[in-house]
Structure formats: C-alpha cells, structure tokens
Structure 1
Amino acid sequence: MARMPSAERRRQLTEAAIRAMTRDGVARTTTRSIAAEADVSLSVFHYCFDSKQALIESVITTLTAHSVTVVKEAIRPRATLEETVRAGFGAYWDHVRAHPDEHMLTYELTQYALRQPGFEHLARRQYELYGDAYGELIEELGRRMDFRLSVPVSVLARYLAAMTDGLTLNYLVLGDDMAWTDILATVTAQIAGLVDTDSAPR
C-alpha cells in the first residue's frame, strides 16, 4: 500500500465513511466496513481516528463543506444583490437535487448523535457549523457588495441555517421540483428585504 500523508488518508477515510453511511446507515456502519470501503487495513483507520466520535465529526465537517463550497463558487457579485443571493440558493438546491442521499445522511447523523450517549455534542457542533458557514458567507458577500443588514449577522445566519434545514428536509420528503422555483424566489426576496436600502449597491 502506498504511503500517504495522514491528512490525505483522513480525507480518504472520511469520504469512504460518507459512502458507507449513505448506503448502510450510520448505526450499521462500522470502523471495519469503513476501512474496507477505503481499501485500507483497520490499523490504518485507528491510526487516523482515535474514536468513532472523531470520525463522525470529520464526516459532519466534510458534508457541510460540500454544500458551502458550491454556494461560495456561485455567489460572485452580480448586477444586484437579489441576483447574487438567488444564484447562491440555486446552487445549493442543485446540490440537494444531485446528492439527495448525502443530504439525507446529515439528518441521520443528527438523530444518531442525539440518541447515542456521549455523542450529543456532535449534533450541536453540526448545527453550529451551519450557522458559522452562513455567517462567513454573509460577511464575505457584505464586504464584496458593500451593504449593511437591518439585523445582526449572527441572527440572519442562524435563521438561514434553520430555514435551509427545514426546506431541505421538506424537499427530501415531498420532492416536487416545480414548487421550488417559487419557494426560492420567496426566500430571495425576503433576504433582500433585510438589507439597508440606503447602503445597498445600485
């Protein structure tokens, strides 16, 4: 087996865990099955992760990064703030539609962490990551487009995290692609309405 930097090996094992958990469920995915999915020995797994908690935290962080990356790439400043926000949410929903099982896994991870003694902090960490990611996106967009919000960034970030979480689960349960055009238009208009119009770019 070729030697690999530990950070790269952890990334490999994390992606293998995502595939295994998506296929088999979180509770039924073992360290042995993850090692087999990554085609490494069990000892390599234990060298990279000292506990299942550490692995699950890495999985949560990686899944969040998957979504955040596509949004960051989409929200380059456009003609108006509303167009920019629409592009960001559109990219996120494209990711949900392309990877529904991955997004389903995020909800399973939350339930697993809340029900597993000693893992509860991972569910909290998961939702803190969502809020942190939105906060960073809002601040970055504010710098690039020079606007002020009528609510604190922390409040809007947590609101967006909760709203996206609920809408994603709603979509996974109900589907109905046709409805999402109007839903995204509503969300975009609502967010644009929270911008101080005296400071927004024209």
Structure 2
Amino acid sequence: MARMPSAERRTQLTEAAIRAMTRDGVARTTTRSIAAEAGVSLSVVHYCFDSKQALLEAVIEAITAHYVTVVREAIRPKATLRETVRAGFQAYWDHVCAQPGEHMLTYELTQYALRRPGFEHLARRQYAIYRDTYEELVRELVRDTGLRPRVPVAVLAGYLAAMTDGLTLGLLALGDEGAAAELLDLVTAQVEGMMGP
C-alpha cells in the first residue's frame, strides 16, 4: 500500500464511507467494510478516524461539499437575479436527481445521529452546515448584486435550508422529478422577492 498524506487518506476513506453507507446503510456499514471499499487495512481507518463520530462528521461535511461546489458554480451572476437564483436551485436539483442515494444518506445520517446517545450533536452540526452554507451563498449574492435583502440574511438562510430539505425529501419519497420545475420557479420568485428591489 502506497504511503499517502494523512489529509488525502482521510478524504479517500470518507469517500469510501459514503459509497459503502449509500449502498448498505449507516447502521450496517462497519469500519471493516469501509476499509475494504477503500482497499486499505482496517488499521488505516482507525488511524485516520479516532471514533465513529469523527468519521460520520467527515461524511456529512463531504456530502455537503459535493453539492455546494455544484451550486456555487451555478450561481455565478447571470443577466437577472431570477436567472442567478434559479440556476442555483436547478444545479442543486440536478445533483439530487443524479445522486439520490447520497441525498438519502443525509437523512439516514440525521436519524442515526438523533437516535444514538452522544451522537445528537452530529445532527445539529449537519443542519448548521446547511444553514451556514446558505448564509454564505446569500451573502455572496448580496455582495455580487448590491441588493439588500428584505429579511435578515440568517432568516433567509434558515428558510432556504428548510425549503430545500423539504423539496429533497419529497423527491426522494415521491420520485416525481417532473414536479420540480414549478416548485423551483415558485421558490425562486419567493427568494427574489425577499432579496429586495
């Protein structure tokens, strides 16, 4: 096995954990199965992650980073605020449709953490990452457009996190990708209204 910098090895193991958990579920995924998925010895997993909590937190952060990168690229300023916002929502939605297992895993991670004593902070951290990410994206949008939101940025970020959470769960449960366009148009109009004139 080739030596690899610690940060790179953690990334490799985190991505292997995401694949294994997406396939087998959080509860059934073991450090042994993650090691097998990554093609490393079990001791490497234990060396890189001192606890299951640390591994799950890395998984949560990595999954969020996957779609934040896609959305951030999509919301580069367009001709209008509406086009910019809609492009961000569409990029996220496309990611959900392309990676439903990964998004399903986020809900499973939340439930897993909430049901395990001592792991509850992971669920709180997960949703704080969502809210903080939206707040960062909104602040970037405000900076790039010069608009002043009609509601506090933190409130708008919380709304966006809750709204996309509900839309995502709806898609995963109902499987109706076609219903997305009208919903995304509606949410885009709402966000545009909250962003001010």
Query: Is residue 2:179 matched to residue 1:179?
Result: yes
Question: What's the counterpart of residue 70 of structure 1?
Answer: 70
TM-score w.r.t. structure 1 length?
0.96
Inter-partner Cα distance in structure 2 for 1:194 and 1:69: 24
Q: How many residues align?
A: 197
Deviations 1:120-162 (A, max 9, x none): 0000000000000000000011111111100011000011000
Matches within 5 A, 1:145-184: 145-184=145-184
Inter-partner Cα distance in structure 1 for 2:143 and 2:177: 33
Which residue type is aligned with residue 125 of structure 1?
R
Inter-partner Cα distance in structure 2 for 1:175 and 1:79: 32
Which residue type is aligned with residue 172 of structure 2?
L
Query: Is residue 2:25 matched to residue 1:18?
Result: no
Give secondary structure in 2 for the equivalent of 1:136.
helix
Inter-partner Cα distance in structure 2 for 1:177 and 1:196: 30
Which residue type is aligned with residue 170 of structure 2?
N
What is the Cα deviation at residue 177 of structure 1?
Answer: 2.1
Which residue type is aligned with residue 120 of structure 1?
E
TM-score w.r.t. structure 2 length?
0.99
Which residue type is aligned with residue 175 of structure 2?
G
Matches within 5 A, 1:3-152: 3-152=3-152
Deviations 1:82-101 (A, max 9, x none): 00000000000000000000
What is the Cα deviation at residue 67 of structure 1?
Answer: 1.1
Inter-partner Cα distance in structure 1 for 2:64 and 2:180: 22
Which residue type is aligned with residue 137 of structure 1?
L
Which residue type is aligned with residue 77 of structure 1?
P
What is the Cα deviation at residue 196 of structure 1?
Answer: 2.1
Give secondary structure in 2 for the equivalent of 1:193.
helix
Which residue type is aligned with residue 61 of structure 2?
T
Ranges in structure 2 where 5+ consecutive residues have no aligned partner = none
Give secondary structure in 2 for the equivalent of 1:23.
helix
Inter-partner Cα distance in structure 2 for 1:177 and 1:168: 10
Inter-partner Cα distance in structure 2 for 1:121 and 1:88: 29
Inter-partner Cα distance in structure 2 for 1:182 and 1:31: 42
Inter-partner Cα distance in structure 1 for 2:31 and 2:159: 35
Deviations 1:155-201 (A, max 9, x none): 0001100000011000111122221111111000010011221xxxx
Which residue type is aligned with residue 128 of structure 1?
A
Ranges in structure 1 where 5+ consecutive residues have no aligned partner = 198-202
Report percent identity of matched pairs.
Answer: 75
Inter-partner Cα distance in structure 1 for 2:52 and 2:178: 40
What is the Cα deviation at residue 117 of structure 1?
Answer: 1.2
Question: What's the counterpart of residue 2 of structure 2?
Answer: 2
Runs of 4+ in 1 over 4 A off after TM superposition: none
